[in-house]
Homo-oligomer: A and B are copies of this chain.
Amino acid sequence: MRRPAPPLHRDDPKKEPLVGHVKVTREDWLNVARDILVSDGEAEVKVLTISTRLEVSRSSFYWYFKSHKHLLDALLDEWENWNTRLIREHCELPAPTITAAVCNFFRCFIDPARFDQGLDFAVREWARRDGKVRARIDRADSARLKDIAAMFARFDYSADEADARARILYFQQLGYHALEQTEALEDRMARLPHYLLGFTGRAHTGDECDALNDFARAVLAPPQE
């Protein structure tokens, strides 16, 4: 049914003879794919779009990646390894006080060369329509919370207290929206000690606006009785 392709000739003399043409690598495909993922979302990560931006033929893609799905998997691997490892490293930095340690944690997010917030949010959005991605997000969140809790535990907070403060810090960083999308995390937030609930934004029933007063105090101060 399928005829063999006719012989091909590079018969367009106007076309650059590839002199000085920088070779496209697997990394290039990944980088452009990641850019599109962050700026336009997973649905826009298309083989044709990337190949056009790289100015190579679409089919070259299949030399580097088995399929479109394998590219997306590679992006996910990259994201999970990089972002989660960065948080762990920042949490493990030596610090004289818990306040200094929390500041180290913040620095991880402030420097765009470190933690890639855009990528993290893009993956979170992706997870909304893909259960497997959601599972990886949840796993990554668990790992990160564990690392942050370990940071508090180094300064003699009890396991429970360290855990609660880790959730608050992480939530504050991700913002309300990320939490909305991550049911597993949301469930954990719902079980926070009552006196720490105020500034999570969940306790704003109208009578408790004042509860927001306690952000830094609640995170850094010793536990109440």
Chain B residues, CB < 8 A from A175: 175-177, 201
Chain B residues, CB < 8 A from A178: 177
Chain B residues, CB < 8 A from A220: 209
A128 at the B interface (CB under 8 A): yes
- Say whether A125 contacts B215, CB under 8 Å: no
- Say whether B209 contacts A216, CB under 8 Å: yes
Chain B residues, CB < 8 A from A110: 204-206
Chain B residues, CB < 8 A from A117: 180
CB 8 Å contact bits of A176-200 with B (1 = contact, 0 = none):
1110100000000000000000010
- Say whether B106 contacts A209, CB under 8 Å: yes
Chain A residues with a Cβ under 8 A of chain B: 39-41, 43-44, 99, 102-104, 106-107, 110, 117-118, 121, 125, 128-129, 172, 174-178, 180, 199, 201, 204-207, 209-217, 220
Residue from A103, A207, A209 with most neighbouring chain B CB atoms (10 Å):
A209
Chain B residues, CB < 8 A from A39: 128-129
Residue from A44, A175, A178 with most neighbouring chain B CB atoms (10 Å):
A175
Give bound CA distance, A216 to B198, whole Å.
11
- Say whether B172 contacts A102, CB under 8 Å: no
* Pick from B121, B176, B207, B212: contact of A215, CB under 8 Å: B212
* Pick from B99, B125, B207, B210: contact of A216, CB under 8 Å: B210
Known: A106-B206, A176-B176, A178-B177. A40 touches B128 (CB 8 A): yes
Pull 28 A–B residue pairs with CB atoms less than 8 Å apart, ordered by A. Answer: A40-B128, A41-B43, A41-B125, A41-B128, A41-B129, A44-B129, A99-B209, A103-B206, A103-B209, A104-B206, A106-B204, A118-B180, A121-B180, A125-B125, A172-B201, A174-B176, A174-B177, A175-B175, A176-B177, A177-B178, A199-B215, A212-B215, A212-B216, A213-B213, A213-B214, A213-B215, A213-B216, A215-B215
Chain B residues, CB < 8 A from A121: 177, 180
Known: A204-B106, A213-B213, A216-B209. A129 touches B177 (CB 8 A): no
In this complex, what residue of B is CB-closest to A210? B216
